[in-house]
Structure formats: C-alpha cells, structure tokens
Amino acid sequence: MAHPLPPGLVPSEVAFLAEMEHVTVIPRQRLAGLELLGGTTPALNPPFPVPLPLWLALLLKRQKRANISPPPWLSVDGLSHILDFETDERTADLFSPSPELSDPTSTAPLDGDAYLAHEALELSPPFLKDAATARAQPDALPYHWLELGHLLLTHAADDFEDPDTVRRLLRDLREVRMSKLRKGFRVLGPGAGVKMNGVGGMEVAEVRGFVGGVVDGMRKINKSREESRREQEAEDRENGLESSSYREDEDDDMLS
C-alpha cells in the first residue's frame, strides 16, 4: 500500500523546480541551440553571455564548457544591503521586497490568433524574467533565492569573487528571515493569519510542517473547548438551569 504524500511541495521538489530559473552563462565553447520543451535555447558563441536554465548551466559548468555569472543580489554588496534591510528596526516586521513585475507587453489573443500564442504569454511569479540573471535587481530576492544560492555556491563557487563571504551572508540572511517567520507564528490562533509577502519557496516548504502542526493543535484545543461548553450546557439543562450566556444577558438587563 502506497503511503500518502505530504501536502504541498517538499524541499527536494522545490529545489528541482528552482533549476528551471534562468541564469547568465559565459560560454567557453561554441554550441548550437537545443530544442527543449520550453523552446529553443540560444546558441553559445564565446565570449557573449546568454541566459540558460539553471540545470543546463550547471551541466555545461560541470563539463567546463561555460562559466556562470552570479546574479547581482548574490554578491557581497547585494546580500549586505538586503541583510541591512532585514535587520533594520524600521523594517523589522517586513521581508525584503521581491523583484518588480514588468509591465504587460501583450493583450488577450484576438479572433484568429493562435490560442495561448507564445508571444502573448506573460511571465509571473515565481518565475520572473531576469530574476536570477546578470540583469537581476541587486536589492530584491527572487522566489527561489535560497535554492539558487545553494546550487551556485556548491557547483560554481569559483565563479564568485568571494564565495566564503557570500556563503556566510546567505546563512545569516536565512537565519534572520526564519526568525521572523517563527515570530509571526506565535500569534497564530482562531481566525489569525501570518503575512508572508516576500517569503521564498524553500522557506515555505521548510515551515509548512511546523505551521500545520500548530494549526492542528489549535483546532484540537478549540474543539475541546467547544465540546466542554456543550457538555456544560447539556448538564445545566438537565438540572433545570439556564445556559450561562442567557443568565449573563439577564443580569445585564437587570443592572441596566
């Protein structure tokens, strides 16, 4: 009998999806474009940089056929600026902003146009154009920032100017943001919610189990309270007493 899968995406699945993000590669050899499900990749002509899916960029890097240019936010200056924003007292309850959405460049297909024509499609989160390429915003973290940083530092550390400092800043940033998430979950209760604007995919996957346990625990507590209240009301009716809520309303009327 197959075991039921946990709800939502697990961290390994989130990391797999992150490999579809585009990064900038600097080819070292010529390579013709490849026909992929998402379209044809640009041809590689050294030394001109081109955007490629992360999984393909890592493959070419492993074969020593290309280098990867880290995005601006994955640098010492970029991460330091983002970390300052995360730790600033004025923005202590906020997460660093996500990349800005580009203005729409197309409209709905008209009569006679191909259904969902490629030129009519607009990218949307979590996969934004240039969110992880060399043209990315230096002060904004994309949805897959943690996975991208881990994969690039693991397989392309020699393409960073100071990989050790970048790795340390990335670890500090993760700890600060996880602390904010845990702080927000303390207010969880009946009807309560947590604002998660700017939270990344891996962060959501890591805290999903904890949040689910907290919510289930709150449901059990509220269910026990409701059952106790109903039992008390039933016992009062059996003893010929009115419900406590009715007695409180009657007392208020007498005082008024």
Q: What is the mean pLDDT of the chain?
A: 78
Give CA–CA dist 234/246, Å, rounded.
14
Residue range(s) defining the domain that contains residue 203:
7-99+124-256
Average pLDDT in the 234-251 region?
Answer: 59
Give CA–CA dist 131/147, Å, rounded.
13
Contacts of 9 (CB under 8 A, 6+ apart): 17, 201, 205
pLDDT score of 104 more than 50: yes
Neighbours of 247 (CB within 10 A): 12
In this structure, is residue 115 part of a structural domain? no
Which CATH number goes with the domain that contains 48?
A: 1.20.58.1020
Average pLDDT in the 193-202 region?
Answer: 76
In this structure, is residue 108 part of a structural domain? no
**148-170 pLDDT tens trace:** 999 999 999 999 999 999 999 99
Of the candidates 93, 84, 79, which has an alpha carbon nearest to the alpha carbon of residue 179? Answer: 93
Average pLDDT in the 228-235 region?
Answer: 75
DSSP 141: -
In this structure, is residue 104 part of a structural domain? no
Number of domains in the chain: 1
